């Protein structure tokens, strides 16, 4: 469950409920009804045939704060350790992953200094459709200061729901309309927490594990910049 400032999303079958910070209650916008596409916006399967490798690239290269070890990946992927181990060794051997010992566990993470890191990161953004969310929602909305990716995708777990935190002072009705259009485009539901510039000071970032991925900053308008150490 998505958590921020000890609040959580409530998703109902007919649409998305949005948390309004000015009220202690969850206040719904009009339901967001869409005929979601059966496939994501960008099909990485056409480039990479190994499903396990795709899962690992999403796990480590979407949000560089994500880490994992072999047994945790076995549980998360629902696959045998043998196949996962082969792909982990291949990626580590290519220098795309680095590892460190933590007790009796070998913890893996993306090697952010690898020359191909940013390219793979951008491919993952396109695979999910986050580039389209930035282009068709954030850029058009205006007055957005920061946008963070949280929830399952922030953990590198594939999902039909994109969870965002938006910080700024903007027209919420226009936001809902833009989100509805973007959902149809990327084939996923989009839900979000809204914070004004002043209210954003109350966010307890330590509640998020791993740290959220910064998708957008008005100060540096690109979804691949690392602001305040929260993701890349």
Say if strands 213-217 and 144-150 run parallel, antiparallel, or are unpaired.
antiparallel
Closest CA to 190 of 231, 123, 140, 129: 129
Instruction: For residue 80, give Cα distances in angstroms to 48, 68, 86, 87.
Output: 20, 15, 11, 12
Say if strands 161-168 and 189-195 run parallel, antiparallel, or are unpaired.
parallel
* pTM of the predicted structure, to 2 decimals: 0.77
Span of 36-50, 99-113, 124-138, 211-225 with lowest mean pLDDT: 36-50
Give the best-scoring range by mean pLDDT among 20-29, 182-191, 217-226.
182-191
Span of 32-41, 78-87, 107-116, 216-225 with lowest mean pLDDT: 32-41
- Per-residue pLDDT tens for 174-187? 999 999 999 999 99
Residue 78 predicted with pLDDT over 70:
yes
Span of 74-78, 121-125, 139-143 with lowest mean pLDDT: 139-143
| Alpha helix ranges (H) inside 29-171 | 51-61, 70-77, 81-93, 117-128, 130-133, 139-141, 151-154
Q: Which helix (H) or strand (E) holds 107?
A: strand 105-110
Q: What are the helix and strand counts (H, E) for the chain? A: 8, 11
Residue 32 predicted with pLDDT over 90:
no
**Interval 28-50 mean pLDDT:** 53
CA-CA distance, 168 to 138, in Å (whole number)?
11
Residue-level pLDDT at 42 = 53
**Is residue 201 classed as helix, strand or coil in its secondary structure?**
helix
**Interval 90-105 mean pLDDT:** 97
Residue 5 predicted with pLDDT over 50:
no
Domains and CATH numbers, the chain: 3-41+129-217 (3.30.460), 49-112 (1.10.10.10)
Residue-level pLDDT at 43 = 67
Residue 2 predicted with pLDDT over 90:
no
Residue-level pLDDT at 231 = 53
Residue 212 predicted with pLDDT over 70:
yes
Evaluate whether 128 touches 186 at the Cβ level (below 8 Å). yes
CA-CA distance, 110 to 91, in Å (whole number)?
9
Residue-level pLDDT at 170 = 85
Residue 129 predicted with pLDDT over 70:
yes
């Amino acid at each position: 469950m998505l958590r921020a400032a000890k609040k959580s999303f409530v998703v109902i079958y007919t649409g998305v409920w949005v948390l309004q910070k000015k009220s202690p209650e969850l206040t719904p916008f009009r339901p967001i009804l869409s005929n979601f596409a059966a496939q994501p916006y960008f099909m990485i399967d056409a480039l990479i045939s190994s499903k396990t490798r795709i899962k690992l690239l999403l796990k480590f290269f979407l949000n560089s704060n994500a880490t994992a070890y072999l047994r945790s990946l076995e549980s998360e992927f629902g696959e045998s350790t043998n196949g996962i181990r082969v792909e982990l060794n291949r990626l580590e051997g290519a220098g795309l992953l680095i590892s460190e010992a933590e007790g009796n566990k070998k913890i893996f993470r993306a090697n952010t200094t690898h020359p191909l890191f940013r390219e793979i990161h951008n491919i993952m953004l396109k695979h999910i459709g986050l580039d389209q969310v930035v282009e068709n929602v954030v850029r058009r909305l205006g007055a957005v200061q920061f946008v963070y990716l949280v929830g399952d995708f922030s953990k590198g777990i594939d999902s039909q729901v994109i969870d965002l935190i938006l910080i700024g002072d903007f027209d919420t009705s226009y936001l809902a309309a833009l989100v509805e259009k973007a959902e149809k485009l990327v084939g996923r539901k989009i839900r979000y927490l809204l914070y004004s510039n002043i209210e954003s000071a109350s966010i307890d970032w330590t509640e998020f594990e791993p740290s959220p991925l910064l998708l957008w900053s008005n100060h540096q308008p690109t979804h691949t910049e690392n602001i305040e150490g929260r993701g890349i």
